[in-house]
Structure 1
Amino acid sequence: MPWLWYVGPFALLVVWFLTGLRGRHEARRDRELARWRALMTPEAARARRDGRKADTGGDGPRPVRTAPASLERMLQDTGGGAVLARYELVPKLAYVAVVGPDAKNGSEYQVVLAKLADAAPRLTVCPLPVVDGRRAPNTGVQFKKDPEFMDQFLVEGPEAKPIGRWLSKRIRDALLDFPDAWLFAQDRAMALAVYGPVDADRMEELVIAADAIFAEHGNEGAPSLLFEGSGDADDEDGSDEDDEDEDGEDDEDGEDDEEAAGAEGAVR
């Protein structure tokens, strides 16, 4: 059949193009991950504090095979997908996962996973959707004393007042500094995600925002996520025996107890 003379070479050309495109994307992702790890070294942290440009040398957070089970479960709340890499920020407590698309999830994203000191109310914070070029009405949990936050973020969850206490002013300000963030919390785990291809600078901003949240609610004294050294080399799977979630209590003295109200949204 003469038409096969044309279809065959064309199909080979398409396969060659798609394979090359995928290879270039993976090479770019690897370069950005290497640059992000360099930005997360102790020297880079000191440079941030001193207002200096960071030296891009050093290895930064070390790769690990897996994170503790409670944090791995949080990946399902953020969208699932094929985990391409995991990096340890604080041993046993905080990790970064780089996730690619699979048959069920079409998004590439990066997420900070961290253990909490106490059980958090179930919540999702996401950028307020834009419809026809305008922000959609905010039908989520209301923060009437913080209109700037409400203009940028939709907060959903079944318990408005505990959510209001948990999302302190410091946490809301950290999210406003990184308006692309999606925050998920449930039981004693949280996830802060950004969707899209890997970008070293944006991943650094993601960890900085997660550090502010972890400082409020993190487990074991909430050590910094920004410049901790790597853990013991023989613990590459990131697991521990005391991984099961424990019940905690909400902070009854939270500053936003009276202002969060209304709109019990379903966490996706």
Structure 2
Amino acid sequence: MPWLWYVGPLALLVVWYLTGLRGRHEARRDAELVRWRVLMTPKAASRRSGAHGGSRKTVADIDGPRPVRSMPGSLERMLDDAGGGAVVSRYELVPKLAYVAVVGPDAKNGSEYQVVTAKLAKPAPRLTVCPLPIIDGRRAPNTGVQFKKDPDFMEQFLVEGPEAKSIGRWLSARVRDALRDFPDAWLFVQDRAMAIAVYGPVDAERLQELVIAADAIFAEHGAGGAPSLLFEDSEADDEDDEDDSAADDEGDEDDSDDDEEDEEAAGAERAVR
């Protein structure tokens, strides 16, 4: 049939075009991930600059987050809360405690996103925080957990979960400030794990901002003493840290007692009514 002479080449042209688009997208994504890892190296972290430098570096040259094949099971399961999808790559921020996953679309999930998953020190209430939807150019009514003492937060974010009072205590002022500083964030918390995600193609600076937001939340609730998720340049301070470690330990014991009292008082004031 003569029409087959046209359909065959046209189909091949469509496949070639779509394959080319996918290849260009993957190349751009990989380049942005290399740039992000460069931004996360100790020297770049101390400078907080170099946004477009380092594109010529190879993977072997990068001293940033290390690629890994898997994450702990509790953190891997948090990806289902964030939307599922096909995991493209994983990077280690703190061994066994915190990771970055880059997720692409699959048959069930059409979104591409990046997510920081981390272990928590204590069981937390199940909750979801997402940007308050915009309908017809206006913010939708906030029907989630109410933060009457923080109307600015309520104007930006919708908080959902079954235990309003526990959620109010967990979303402390520091956690809410971290989310305000990164208004595109989606936060998922369940038991002893959390995931904070941003949706859309990979962008090096945006991914770095996501890790900074996760670091602030992890500092409040993270497991293992909540070490920094940022790759800071601390080699010059190692000797001083060793000399002062005994004094720091004594101070930490006193500070922990004060912090517990402060957190209890602050938690009572922030409880959701």
TM-score bracket relative to the smaller structure: 0.7 to 0.9
* Structure 1 residues not aligned, in runs of 5+: 230-250, 263-268
User: 74, 78, 84: which one pairs with 2:78?
Assistant: 74
Paired residues of 1:39 and 1:204 also in contact (CA < 8 A): yes
Q: Kindly, what percent of the aligned residue pairs are identical?
A: 80
TM-superposition CA deviations, 1:69-121 (whole Å, max 9, x none): 11001111111110000000000100000000111111000000000000111
Give the residue type in structure 2 aligned to 1:170: R
Kindly indicate whether the alpha-carbon contact (under 8 Å) linking 1:89 and 1:228 is maintained by their aligned counterparts in 2: no
Shift of 1:44: 1.5
Partner of 1:34: 34
- The one-letter code of the counterpart of 2:135 is V
Residue identity opposite 1:9 in structure 2: P
Q: 1:135 aligns with which of 126, 139, 146?
A: 139
**SS of match in other structure, 1:5:** helix
Choose the corresponding residue for 1:253, options 260, 264, 270: 264
- The secondary structure found in structure 2 opposite 1:141 is coil
Could you tell me how far 1:5 is from its partner in structure 2?
A: 1.1
Secondary structure in 2 matching 1:142: coil
- Tell me if structure 2 keeps the 8 A contact 1:93–1:219: yes
More helix, by proportion: 2
Which residue is equivalent to 2:17? Answer: 17
What is the match of residue 168 of structure 2?
A: 164
What CA distance in whole angstroms lies between the structure 1 residues aligned with 2:272 and 2:124?
17
Please state if 1:45 is matched with 2:49.
no
1:27 counterpart letter in structure 2: A
Q: Is the Cα contact below 8 Å between 1:142 and 1:260 reproduced in 2?
A: no
CA contact (8 A) 1:81 1:100 kept: yes
The runs of at least 4 aligned residues of structure 1 exceeding 4 Å deviation read 52-55
Structure 2 portions without partners, runs of 5+: 234-261
Of 103, 106, 111, which residue of structure 2 is paired with 1:107?
111
Q: Which amino acid aligns with 1:126?
A: C
**Separation (CA, whole Å) in 1 of partners of 2:174 and 2:165:** 17
Alpha carbons of 1:90 and 1:254: their partners in 2 closer, same or farther (altered >3 Å)?
A: farther
Quote the Cα distance in structure 1 between the aligned partners of 2:232 and 2:218: 14
Residue 118 of structure 1 pairs with residue 122 of structure 2: yes
Rounded Cα–Cα distance in structure 1 between residues aligned with 2:3 and 2:159: 57
Alpha-carbon distance, 1:6 to partner: 1.1
Superposition TM-score, scaled by structure 1 size: 0.85
Per-residue deviation, 1:228: 6.2
Larger relative contact order, structure 1 or 2 (CA cutoff 8 Å, min sep 6): 1
Q: Helix, strand or coil: the match of 1:253?
A: helix
Distance 1:165 1:209 in 2: 19
Cα distance in 2 for partners of 1:220, 1:175 equals 22
Letter in structure 1 aligned against 2:152: E
Q: Which has the larger radius of gyration?
A: 2
- How far off is 1:258 after superposition? 4.8
* Letter matched to residue 29 of structure 1: R
Query: Shift of residue 256 of structure 1?
Result: 4.4
The number of residues matched between the two structures is 238
Displacement of 1:193: 0.2
Q: Which residue of 1 aligns with 2:240?
A: none
Structure-2 change in CA distance of 1:61 and 1:162 (3 Å)? same
Contact kept? 1:165, 1:254, Cα under 8 Å: no
> 1:175-194 counterparts in 2 under 5 A?
175-194=179-198
The alignment partner of 2:125 has SS state of: strand
Which TM-score applies when normalising by structure 2?
A: 0.83
Contact 2:46 2:232 in 1 (8 A): no
Q: Distance in 2 between matches of 1:252 and 1:168?
A: 9
Q: Please report the RMSD computed on the Cα atoms of aligned residues, expressed in angstroms.
A: 1.8
- Whole-Å Cα distance in 2 between the matches of residues 175 and 256 of structure 1? 18
